[in-house]
Amino acid sequence: MSEPGTTSEPQRTMAPESYGKYFLIDKIAVGGMAEIFKAKTFGHGGFENLFVVKRILAHMSDNEQFVQMFLDEARVTAVLQHANIVRVVDFGKIGTNYFLAMDCVEGKDSKLILRKLFERRKMLPREFAVYIAMEAAKGLDHAHKKSTNMGQMLQIVHRDVSPSNILVSYAGEVKVADFGIVQASTVVETSTKGTLKGKIEYMSPEQALGEDLDRRSDIFSLGIVLWEMLTGRRAFKTDNEVKTLDKVRNVDVERASVVNPSVPARLSDIVARCLEKNPADRYQDGRELHAELLNFLYPATPDVVQQSLGHFMQELFADEITAERHRLEEGTRLARAMHESEPSVELQEDWEEDRRSGPGDTVAPVAPALEAAPPASKLPLVLGLLALLLGATAVVSAVLYVMNREPETVVIEKQAPVAVTSVSLKVSPVAGVVVVDGQPAGTTQTLVKELKPGKHSISVSAEGFEPWSEEVELNEGERLRLDARLVAVKKAEPIPVRNDTPRVPSTPLSTPPVGPTETVEVAPPPPVEKPKGKLSVNVSGGWADIFVDGKKVGTTPVIGYQLAPGTYSIRAKNEAAGLDSTKQITVKSGETATASFSAQ
């Protein structure tokens, strides 16, 4: 999580601070208005949870306008529940400090990603830029269309869509953050019309002019972020704010494909439409922009791109991840010790005291008093009293029996927990029907299944392939990996037939002379075509266009591209990154060949 003007992450473990129910264990960032921490909470049975706490600095607590912005962020974000929006889980005031608690996104904001790539003279791979913008559009669309329980539109506008407010986790997830200057129907607007709020470089023209805004303003701002991710440059940056405002108001920016010729014309058109000066000419909502970017991304799927983006993030920030995990582990250890040393509250005694009633206690009626019923027949009353007397006699007898019975000692054996083992199965080259211990486990290429220790049978079958099976014996706590390589069924080749049997002569009027025996050759069937293989290509630290024997087949990551068995020339090319490399790769029938290149 980042804030405008905040410093970089500290590298030393801070001493944990007890703050309400939170233990602040790692300071992420600090600026002139607020500070941000990773925080832990602890519960019974070793339950722990990780959050991010954003706390107003003490000297800002008297700034009514800033406090109001903070309240607006809490009020609006609390109603936004979406996978692409950072969720606010708590809000309050401890002492003189207001705070927000949010879900922790373990990753970096897009500003830090672009800065890191700039330091390495690298570009963000195109498919990652498209995916980040696409996912951010989903989150914004949810906010734009949020309504009250009565169906009234909240008319939320973020007003600060920028790289520092678009987070990317180390797993490739994308989330929009910081609704601190949000505009909504529920927000108390304290600024006068014409006052500018937001980062000037990422404003829409109407925002830079101080005009009324709607969702299309956020579409423009997201278009700027996408432009910068594709070009590696700042769209409207100048040497002073006056010039920057002038460029924004006039949308003085070149097409992305002009700045970076490797940007396809179709993608450049999408960005250009986001950056139209007239809001009516832009995409009208985030859903429409998301659909356009999704179509451009095809045939790559969002799940595959997210996974690749996660690997990219882990490689790009490998050193930072190691340091973060060390600080988190050490901070958690110290905070846990603080939590365990605090006095515990005996809730059971409190409840016992509440259940005891003194002379002055009053008991609220459970239900309102019933009105008097009209007189009834005496016969039901007599029968009821008789039944009550018999029931009381039975209860007394049961109590006396229990009191006089010899007490029995009940021994409850504590069973040791059964250790669960797991099997990780990979099926290739195609998905197969997996059966574990006689029970179907689905049709898949990857399977992770928890099993008890002992012997187990696992089998895989697929049409056109020979069945695969294996008997395994798992020890307690063992994690076994199996590779089921299915072999294609070989069709039996027909055997040529020789007809050496003497021909039986016909019985015409004149019998022809019998000649030598005749051999009949049967032509063999055409050769059976071998199953194709697959090619997967990836580029570490960047991306590249991939060519197979001179023919372009796509942009990395290339996954499962089908080829006939043979040897091919694989070329990876990215002029902007200075990458142009060729490898010879052999593709085998029914197998996947992998080619790896480096853009570093």
- pLDDT of 566-598, one tens digit each? 999 999 988 777 888 999 999 998 888 888 888
Q: Rounded to whole angstroms, how far apart are CA atoms 390 and 384?
A: 10
Q: Which residue has the tokens 């019975």?
A: 405
Handedness of CA 379, 382, 385, 387 (dihedral sign): negative
- Say if CB 333 and CB 340 are below 8 A apart: no
Q: Which residue has the higher pLDDT, 127 or 31?
A: 127
Average pLDDT over residues 543-568: 86
- Say if CB 554 and CB 536 are below 8 A apart: no
Shortest CA distance to 209 belongs to which of 223, 224, 198? 198
pLDDT band at 419 (very low <50, low <70, confident <90, very high): very low
pLDDT band at 520 (very low <50, low <70, confident <90, very high): low
Task: Check residue 410 and give its pLDDT.
Answer: 38
Element (H, E) at 27: strand 22-30
Residue 456 has pLDDT above 60, yes or no: yes
Q: Rounded to whole angstroms, how far apart are CA atoms 267 and 227?
A: 10
Residue 561 has pLDDT above 80, yes or no: yes
Tokens of residue 250, six digits? 């006039």
| Residues carrying CATH 3.30.200.20, the chain | 1-104
pLDDT band at 386 (very low <50, low <70, confident <90, very high): low
Average pLDDT over residues 443-450: 70
CA distances from 550 to 188, 553, 554 (A): 61, 9, 12
Residue 530 has pLDDT above 70, yes or no: yes
Percent share of the chain, pLDDT over 90: 40
Q: Rounded to whole angstroms, how far apart are CA atoms 546 and 537?
A: 8
Q: Which residue has the tokens 């199996």?
A: 482
Q: How many CB atoms lie within 10 A of CB 180?
A: 25
Task: Check residue 578 and give its pLDDT.
Answer: 80
Residue 210 has pLDDT above 60, yes or no: yes
Q: Return the minimum-mean-pLDDT range out of 39-48, 251-260, 481-490, 498-507.
A: 498-507
Average pLDDT over residues 63-81: 81
Out of 375-384, 504-513, 561-570, give the one with best mean pLDDT.
Answer: 561-570
pLDDT band at 545 (very low <50, low <70, confident <90, very high): confident
Out of 146-160, 319-333, 540-554, give the one with best mean pLDDT.
Answer: 319-333
Q: How many CB atoms lie within 10 A of CB 64?
A: 9
pLDDT tens per residue, range 130-150:
999 999 999 999 999 998 888
439-444 and 432-436 strand pairing: antiparallel
pLDDT band at 58 (very low <50, low <70, confident <90, very high): confident
pLDDT tens per residue, range 227-262:
999 999 999 999 888 999 999 999 999 999 999 999
Q: How many CB atoms lie within 10 A of CB 78?
A: 15
pLDDT band at 68 (very low <50, low <70, confident <90, very high): confident
Shortest CA distance to 125 belongs to which of 562, 534, 535, 537? 537
Average pLDDT, the chain: 79
Average pLDDT over residues 277-290: 96
Q: Which residue has the higher pLDDT, 100 or 193?
A: 100
Judge if pTM exceeds 0.85: no
Task: Check residue 292 and give its pLDDT.
Answer: 96
* Catalytically annotated residues: 160
Q: Rounded to whole angstroms, how far apart are CA atoms 591 and 430?
A: 9
Q: Which residue has the tokens 């003194």?
A: 358
Secondary-structure breakdown of the chain: helix, strand, coil percentages, each rounded to the nearest 5: 30, 25, 40
Out of 142-146, 378-382, 386-390, give the one with best mean pLDDT.
Answer: 142-146
Phi, psi (rounded to 5 degrees) for 396 = -60, -40
Q: In what order do the strands lie in the sheet with 22-30?
A: 17-19, 22-30, 34-42, 48-56, 97-103, 88-94
Radius of gyration of the chain (CA): 36
Cα end-to-end distance, the chain, whole Å? 28
Reply yes or no: is the peptide bond before residue 429 cis, omega within 30 of 0: yes
pLDDT band at 463 (very low <50, low <70, confident <90, very high): confident
- Say if CB 524 and CB 494 are below 8 A apart: yes
Task: Check residue 2 and give its pLDDT.
Answer: 42
Q: Rounded to whole angstroms, how far apart are CA atoms 96 and 47?
A: 29
pLDDT tens per residue, range 323-357:
999 999 999 999 998 888 865 544 444 444 343 33
Task: Check residue 228 and give its pLDDT.
Answer: 97
Out of 172-181, 249-258, 380-389, give the one with best mean pLDDT.
Answer: 249-258
Task: Check residue 26 and give its pLDDT.
Answer: 93
Average pLDDT over residues 536-551: 83
pLDDT band at 182 (very low <50, low <70, confident <90, very high): low
Q: Which residue has the higher pLDDT, 191 or 524?
A: 524
DSSP secondary structure letters along 490-523 = PPPPPPPP---SPPPP---SSPPPP------PPP
Task: Check residue 346 and give its pLDDT.
Answer: 44
Task: Check residue 133 and give its pLDDT.
Answer: 98
Q: Return the minimum-mean-pLDDT range out of 118-132, 247-261, 545-559.
A: 545-559
Q: What's the CATH code, domain 1-104?
A: 3.30.200.20
Q: What's the CATH code, domain 533-598?
A: 2.60.40.1120
pLDDT band at 499 (very low <50, low <70, confident <90, very high): low
Task: Check residue 353 and give its pLDDT.
Answer: 39
DSSP-derived 3-state class of residue 393: helix
Q: What's the CATH code, domain 108-317?
A: 1.10.510.10
Task: Check residue 434 and give its pLDDT.
Answer: 83
CA distances from 141 to 102, 181, 285, 309, 502 (A): 20, 17, 6, 22, 86
Residue 202 has pLDDT above 50, yes or no: yes
CA distances from 45 to 48, 328, 340, 450 (A): 9, 20, 12, 24
H and E: helices and strands count for the chain = 13, 23
Q: Which residue has the higher pLDDT, 419 or 27?
A: 27
Out of 382-386, 458-462, 568-572, give the one with best mean pLDDT.
Answer: 568-572
Q: Rounded to whole angstroms, how far apart are CA atoms 40 and 21?
A: 9
